[in-house]
Structure 1
């Protein structure tokens, strides 16, 4: 029988997701929990897993399509069943318990957010089965007596260079870059591992005159043929930047769309105040070098951000107001006796702010490990939606870009955000003399509804003192 799977809510009441890439094709046999697609929500890229074992009867959306939650995205042909089409996955079914709750399957699996977990006896994701019958560019025939849920629509498969009909192997950010630069990925040979097409491959093709993008792509719509890389345009010999088209439009969606809306809302809702403090962090930098040589930290990446995160958690003990939130509906200030520390991370899909849960309870080694894993996961596009929610305070390290200071905008729902500037050697008074010291500027923005000027200043001064004289942490 046919089973229609609707796009589920992938977290925090999100209303839509974009299909980045399909991992399967029509006609493929799939198993429970096998990854079907990479989808991008407003907060993260999520792997969508199969809730069923069976054959892919139909893919309802092409890559790049934004799908509303609850809309059909894939149909399965389930083995050993008959009787027409069943209700879409997520609606009432025989697996619902009598009280409306969720009932476990016979092998111990229970429904998860996007399907069913692995069987209880192994706890492992089943391996993907080999494809049956090639690339599956045509939908399998409908079983007799079964009516499709809606008229069949053609689902195109991107061309390839190897004749298999599969999409060229690359990552979603690289495919987006190729689309923006007008590079035909099917004409490229990947230099990455196992033939993966890398960002450098795309950039090299764009600089050297790659094949034009497929007709109808955004970079060619209404533009005609663009000039070859490094040459002027045909109209008057006007040269373009790096040989690219004069203008490229990119749809604002996914993470960037969410970030833009959140920042505008925050900037015009919370009354921001920003204060600056320049700190002599010479002793902290010396401590950092000693920590890195310590045997307990040989396998842990400890940075200035790690020490600043620890200082923030310690300083909050004296100024808990900086960790509160404003309840607009109840018109109340909510004190929070835990710190979910957000770390702003620049990724190919835009700014993301995942957070370390209960950072206040971690020692320095635990905090360093969590921060390293958090940033690596974010930059790889694997951050789960849950890691993006519930933050109470954020740190953004603009110093890695060579920036000294700024006026950071609050993450919505948080009372404060601290920007770390670059550490640079400059003349400074030390013990009554001018000496070259390692200096850093801290920029603290806070919500003036929650934090008074005295409280914000005290918190910033405490963080500065801990980074200036890390031995002060022994007194707390």
Structure 2
């Protein structure tokens, strides 16, 4: 007889304690294989597809799309049979054979939490159970996965009905809080029930072992429709007297009074996921960091000309174009080499300023999910072309929601190009726990005194927000002035290229 394994939301790393269900990838009654993604969740860092460490039939799901679950909360339950029946099974519970009562029977819900549970079934015993190859915190990997028998799609489809029937029998012995929806073979039946708000647990199935069929759902829908139509027919059948001596006088007409329009409902938007993480970090930055901002206008005409020359040299075979953001990022790394105070953080516990040897350069990216800051690792060792390629890769991953937590953490300095929004200046909030952020406005033609004459030049405003604990205004001003000099005369960069 199969066992029911409970799969809980694993620890996704990086100190994350909760995740929001974005999209279920399986339905109740579906057959899943070991390590098959079953749900897509959104953490405060990124979108993640969570693989299931068990192979079998899904008997219950916990949480609708949009529900936020803490780490360790149940995600779903899987009915796992023998290897000969399903072709793959979940880790066996090493204590199931020695238990007493229903705990050792087919209706027991086995929850593997901790490395011991994952290794007990996969690392010892008869060798009938396979362990997941994915590293899920709290589930482990068990013994090294040997040759896993590949399941042919036609063989899996041939056993779906038998295992759904077994899953129904197993779920009947599980407490109501664990059962969840009853397993149904046909996705059309589940969809039909959802469209008419039918609770499948309230229906008695006419199929084998009480399996709910499409006819059962359609019968329930007809009953609901007829029940809703009955009150309307009864009200229409009110008896009318055959003869009326006098018409009933109508009440005098009253002037209509305009009713005040109902005020629109207040909209409440939960601060969770990426938006909640950004809110927490910005609020913490304002609470802990005594920041100050300085800014300067710079003539970017020569920088734009240098970029055009770079992109035109070599023709189409020269590779991808170098972006303005990549050039500014390279200027930042050169400036941080001269002013390392701004590539640091403050340790509040030891009351120390910690200067960091590598520059992990973050850049602000606006996405549909909110503001994220991908990080270019070891930017100090990259040239403008390499930085540009990495920025393009991370930007595409940010737009599709596929950034990993590691790609969103560990930054030491942030570059914020708010000029893409058509604004000239801003006072950026430091990305805690960093010490500074450089803001870049739009580059637009403006009147400018160039070599003693008034001319139209490409002008940009640069602003630096810095932690006043790590340096004073002289250091911050020197950093910003060096950046502006490199923008106005890109040849200054030749010393560090």
Verify same fold: TM over 0.5: yes
| TM-score, length-scaled by structure 1 | 0.74
- Structure 1 Cα separation of the partners of residues 317 and 443 of structure 2: 22
Partners of 1:29 and 1:132 within 8 A in 2: no
Query: Structure 1 332/98 Cα, relative in aligned 2: closer, same or farther at 3 Å?
Result: farther
SS at match of 1:95: helix
CA-atom RMSD in angstroms: 3.9
Structure with higher Rg: it is: 2
Equivalent in the alignment of 2:473: 453
Equivalent in the alignment of 1:325: 345
Greater share of helix: 2
- Structure 2 Cα separation of the partners of residues 256 and 144 of structure 1: 38
Equivalent in the alignment of 1:250: 269
Equivalent in the alignment of 1:427: 447
- Structure 1 Cα separation of the partners of residues 192 and 328 of structure 2: 47
1:9 partnered with 2:11: yes
- Structure 2 Cα separation of the partners of residues 62 and 292 of structure 1: 50
Partners of 2:27 and 2:58 within 8 A in 1: yes
Q: Aligned to 1:165, which of 156, 168, 191?
A: 191
The alpha carbon displacement at 1:153 in A equals 3.4
Partners of 2:441 and 2:461 within 8 A in 1: yes
- Structure 2 Cα separation of the partners of residues 389 and 361 of structure 1: 19
SS at match of 2:270: coil
1:92 partnered with 2:143: no
- Structure 1 Cα separation of the partners of residues 177 and 376 of structure 2: 45
Q: Aligned to 1:153, which of 177, 180, 199?
A: 180
- Structure 2 Cα separation of the partners of residues 313 and 276 of structure 1: 19
**Pairwise mapping of residues 316-395 of structure 1 onto structure 2 (< 5 A)?**
316-395=336-415
Q: Aligned to 2:24, which of 18, 22, 25?
A: 22
- Structure 2 Cα separation of the partners of residues 138 and 450 of structure 1: 66
- Structure 1 Cα separation of the partners of residues 411 and 340 of structure 2: 15
Gaps of 5+ in 1: 100-104, 169-183, 185-233
SS at match of 2:116: coil
SS at match of 1:140: helix
1:292 partnered with 2:311: yes
- Structure 2 Cα separation of the partners of residues 461 and 439 of structure 1: 15
1:43 partnered with 2:45: yes
The alpha carbon displacement at 1:373 in A equals 1.0
- Structure 2 Cα separation of the partners of residues 379 and 278 of structure 1: 31
**Aligned pairs, number:** 397
Gaps of 5+ in 2: 83-88, 93-103, 124-128, 196-257
- 1:251-302, Cα deviation, whole Å (9 max, x unpaired): 2211111111111110121001101011111111112222223348754243
- Structure 2 Cα separation of the partners of residues 252 and 143 of structure 1: 39
Partners of 1:342 and 1:356 within 8 A in 2: yes
Partners of 2:425 and 2:461 within 8 A in 1: yes
29-38 or 323-332: bigger deviation: 29-38
Equivalent in the alignment of 1:72: 74
SS at match of 1:317: helix
- 1:211-252, Cα deviation, whole Å (9 max, x unpaired): xxxxxxxxxxxxxxxxxxxxxxx96579x9xxxx66432222
Partners of 1:36 and 1:47 within 8 A in 2: yes
Query: Structure 1 164/72 Cα, relative in aligned 2: closer, same or farther at 3 Å?
Result: closer
Query: Structure 1 421/236 Cα, relative in aligned 2: closer, same or farther at 3 Å?
Result: same
